[in-house]
Structure 1
């Protein structure tokens, strides 16, 4: 097994390993898991694996989760089929970490390319540890104890009829997470807001608000600034897909953005999301 960093900040390509075999062999799997904690996203070219092997490999990291909107393959629970061929709309072309709207967002994901356009359809991942570490000190102090709400209703629900959108919001009410979370395995501090984030819940304090303009506009400006950190190129890695590619990422320390620049060409991906823990 060979591990080659792709950028100085994030990402490594791993060669000379078959993920089907790694799904059955703890010794082959162990260095992959260690590399994920170090590099945050791992790239594997030309993986000829079955859906069953895809699921088995992902389960090495932990139990898999379903998705309330996208569902999963009935023969392989936990495997979400993201097949785009007849609709230009995309939910993924925003900087986000998966499932921020869950009380326990995913640990990570294993995404496999089935079919992709000849040009376009790349995905970007972002090192949100570095995005936090390089914040100005006064901003770090300001956000250290802030908490924010995240919701699925204003993203996936936005294109639904009103009754379906309201039911989605009732079934999955907004959740509250720290703006800066601690990675449970590495201890790193992570900037933990993304496109599912709606607002701060404890910003309006005497320290932050002196006049009305400090309250809602002030909080929104700060949130937008934090969201913009994901767009800094020095924190990013970009991957051009080929059929058979598999990418594994740590959803706790990264965000990603799937470019929606390929329609009407088809793009078929399959993702296994791994159950995570409560951020703190």
Structure 2
């Protein structure tokens, strides 16, 4: 579908092409290096609400340009609560294969009280093969649940933490990997979120779990793991996943409130580098209107709290 918009600064044809049935669309005809009009930002937000992940190709952006683009959707977070930013760019996180891989399903920074509402990833160095990013639609996963399981999930809360159950034990790490883990957990966070989150803009319900969700409130670790694994299996059904193969000069914008993602480690250790910029989010709310609550760790240095249903900021 093609939508033509009249923005204050320019008249822009916004071409939106779906990539899969359940998640993902590619947008053409926009120069992201220029400020976007309010109508254009609103149209991108509407497309994001529907498609959950948007791909922009042929973008001519540096770190400042990526931050400027992301800022049109709200106030930026700093790069990360514990991991250092790109030097001279406190809002930019380097996602660099040489500093570890993020090959586990997760939603960004769910161990804090108000995780980012949206994330942007921009390709810097792309391996000649592999290195795809998978993005899953957590709303479609919720709709896939059989009715009894859906009702059960509606009642659950989960504790998310950055000091999570790593697949690789501490004693098997080399010194560099051990130091990275120590930095990542230098401030320990625990936050309880509803397993089923209500999206503040669309009202959709989505499974809000992923790799940082370690325990169901009121259950043992063993019981929790079985339930979380069962629910997670619906998130990662192939029908719910966009598998994006990166090319140079691309930017992906995805709704962190209602997706999970995974960086596929299938490029033989070749260099792979993306830069991430995220937009401050609201405090998640469950189906009964109860908000998430912090158990351990103050992340106020990382992110302000966005108002529920915060509207985009024009260029």
In structure 2, relative to structure 1, the CA distance for the partners of 1:174 and 1:81 (3 Å cut) is: same
Partner of 1:277: 282
Whether 2:146 is the aligned partner of 1:141: answer: no
Residue 134 of structure 1: how far off its partner (Å): 1.2
Q: Check conservation: 2:82, 2:184, Cα contact below 8 A.
A: no
| Alpha-carbon distance between aligned partners in 2 of 1:37 and 1:274, rounded to the nearest angstrom | 15
Question: 1:44 corresponds to which residue?
Answer: 56
1:184 matched to 2:204: no
Instruction: Supply the distance in 2 between the matched residues of 1:115 and 1:149 (Cα, whole angstroms).
Output: 35
* Superposed CA offset, 1:138-193 (max 9, x none): 1111121211100001268965469947962xx33211000101001100001111
Q: List structure 1 runs of 4+ shifted beyond 6 angstroms.
A: none
Aligned pair partner of 1:58 in 56, 59, 70: 70
Report the Cα distance in structure 2 between the residues aligned to 1:266 and 1:166, rounded to whole angstroms: 21
Question: Number of residue pairs matched?
Answer: 263
Return closer, same or farther for 1:27/1:127 CA change in 2, 3 Å cut-off. Answer: same
The answer (yes or no) to whether the contact 1:70–1:81 under 8 Å persists in 2 is no
Deviation at 1:228, TM superposition (A): 1.8
Give the Å deviation of 1:29.
2.2
Q: Give the distance between the partners of 2:224 and 2:160, measured in 1 at CA.
A: 15
Tell me if the contact between 1:11 and 1:237 (Cα under 8 Å) persists in the aligned partners: yes
Report what 1:115 is aligned to.
125
Aligned-pair Cα RMSD in Å? 2.3
Partners of 2:69 and 2:159 lie apart in 1 by: 32
Distance 1:78 1:65 in 2: 6
**TM-score using structure 1 length:** 0.87
Whether the 8 Å CA contact 2:118–2:281 is kept in 1: the answer is: yes
Question: Of the two structures, which has the highest relative contact order with CA contacts closer than 8 Å and spacing of 6 or more?
Answer: 1
In 2: Cα distance, 1:258 partner to 1:162 partner: 18
- For residues 35 and 166 of structure 1, the distance between their equivalents in structure 2, rounded to whole angstroms, comes to 33
Once the two structures are superposed, the pairs formed by residues 162-201 of structure 1 within 5 Å of their partners are 164=182, 168=186, 171-201=187-217
Higher helix share: 1
Q: 1:42 to 1:162 in 2, by over 3 A?
A: closer
Q: Equivalent residue for 1:249?
A: 254
CA gap of 1:77–1:138, structure 2 versus 1, over 3 A, is same
Query: How far, CA to CA, are the matches of 2:106 and 2:181 in structure 1?
Result: 26
**Which structure 1 segments of 5+ residues have no match?**
204-214
Query: Are the structure 2 counterparts of residues 262 and 251 from structure 1 closer, same or farther at C-alpha, using a change threshold of 3 Å?
Result: same
Aligned mate of 1:20, from 27, 33, 37: 33
